[in-house]
Amino acid sequence: MSVGEFLKPWIPHLTPYKAGVTLPGLVKLASNENNWGPSPKVVEALKGAAVDVYRYPYKDEEVRSAVAKYAGVSVDNVVLGNGSDELIDLILKAFRGPALSFNPSFSEYRIISQTLGTEFWEVDLLPDFSLPVENFGKIGGKANIIFVATPNNPTGGVVSQKDLVSILKLGKITVVDEAYFEFCGETIVPLIKKHPNLIVLRTLSKAFGLAGLRIGYAVSNPEIIACLMAAKPPFNINYLAAEAALAALADIPYMKKTTGAIIRDRPRLMRGLSECFTAYPSEANFVFADVSPLTAEEAYRFFVGKGFVVRSFGRFPNFGGEYIRVTVGTTDETSGFLKVLDGLRRSRKQRQH
C-alpha cells in the first residue's frame, strides 16, 4: 500500500508552520510572548482548577460573556477558538475561497488555506512594508475571503481605518486580525454593525500572557458567529484555558500595566536596532529589522551566542534583505539586549577605523 494513493494531492507540497525557537537558559525574544507573564490571579486560578481537569470544559458561555464585556459587544457577537489559528481554520472551512492576504504577513493564513485546498493569493507590500491599497483592492474584488493583520506580523505596521473601510466596501468576508490590538490601541470592532462582512480576530496569547493555553476569539455579526459556532468542534477551549481567561479578564489593570511597560520599552528597542540594522516602525510588541549584509541566520546565531533567541525569517519572496524579528521583553531583558547591540555597534565602528 502507498499512502500517496489516499492523500489529497496538495498535501505533500505543504510547508508546515515554523515556530520561534525556545532554548532553555536563554532569553526568548522570538515569539511575541508577553515575558512579564500572566496576572498572578491567573496563576492562582490555575492552581485551584487543576484538580478538576477530569471534567470536560463547561464554562464557554461564561468566557464568552467576559470577552464580550471586554470587547464592548454582545455575547452573540463572540465565538471562542483554540488560539486565533483555530478561528482562521473555522473561517476557511465555513466560507468559500479564494482567500487573499499580503506578503509578508502571518503565514497561517496561507498554510491553513492550502491545507484545506482553498486557493490563496498574496499581494506584496510596498518596499517600506506599507499596504498598496489600490492594488490590494483590485485583487480583493476577485477573492471571497480577505485577511488583513493590523498591526501586521511580522512587520509591525498598521493599516489605517480608512484603508480598512475601503477593503470592507468590496463586500467580501473581511478578517481583520487584531492579535496585537492592546499594543496599538486601534480597533475596528465598533464597525461590525455597519459592515456585516467584518470578522475581527483577537487573542489572549499576547497582551494577557496566555500563549501556552491557546485561547482566542472572533467578533462579528450574530449570523457569522452562528455559522462559526456550528462549524467548531465541541470542547475546543480546554478547562484550564477557560479558567485562565476568566481570571485574566478580571484583572485588566495587570494587563494594562505590562502592556504599558512594553509600549514604553518599544522605542528603546527600535533605536538600538536602528543603530546596527534597518529597523521598521512597529505598533506591536516586537520590532522587525533587515540585518543585511549579515544573513538572518548569522544574526540569529550571534544573538544566541550572547544569550538571546530572536526570530530568523531570512528572505521574503520578491523582497531584498535578510529579516529578523525581536520581541520587546521585560525592561531588564530589553536593557540586556541593548547592551549586546551596543557592543556590536562599537565593534563595527572600531573595524571601520
**Higher pLDDT pick, 349 / 168:** 168
As beta bridge partners, residue 310 has 29
Burial class, 297, CB count within 10 angstroms (exposed 0-12 / middle 13-18 / buried 19+)? middle
- What is the average pLDDT across 193-215? 97
Q: Is the pLDDT of residue 352 over 70?
A: no
Q: Write the DSSP string, 274-304.
A: HTTSEEE--SSSEEEEE-TTS-HHHHHHHHH
pLDDT in tens, 87-126: 999 999 999 999 999 999 999 999 999 999 999 999 999 9
CA nearest neighbour of 109 among 120, 95, 124, 117 = 120
Confidence class for position 157, pLDDT limits 50, 70, 90: very high
CA–CA gap between residue 310 and residue 324 (Å, rounded): 7
Q: Is the pLDDT of residue 351 over 90?
A: no
Tell me whether strands 308-314 and 323-327 are parallel, antiparallel or unpaired.
antiparallel
Q: What is the CA radius of gyration of the chain?
A: 21
Measured CA angle at 20 (ends 233, 79), to 5 deg: 25
Q: Is the pLDDT of residue 353 over 80?
A: no
**How much of the chain, in percent, has pLDDT values that exceed 90?**
87
Class of domain 3-35+253-352: alpha beta
pLDDT in tens, 295-338: 999 999 999 999 999 999 999 999 999 999 999 999 999 999 99
End-to-end CA distance of the chain: give it in Å, rounded.
67
- What is the average pLDDT across 130-135? 87
Every domain of the chain and the residues it spans: 3-35+253-352, 40-251
Residue given cell 487543576 in the structure block: 50
pLDDT in tens, 21-57: 899 999 999 999 999 999 999 999 999 999 999 999 9
- Taken in order 217, 223, 226, 232, is the CA torsion positive or negative? negative
Q: What number does CATH give the domain 40-251? A: 3.40.640.10
Map residue 35 onto helix, strand or coil: coil
* Percentages (nearest 5) of helix, strand, coil residues in the chain: 45, 15, 40
CA–CA gap between residue 70 and residue 142 (Å, rounded): 35
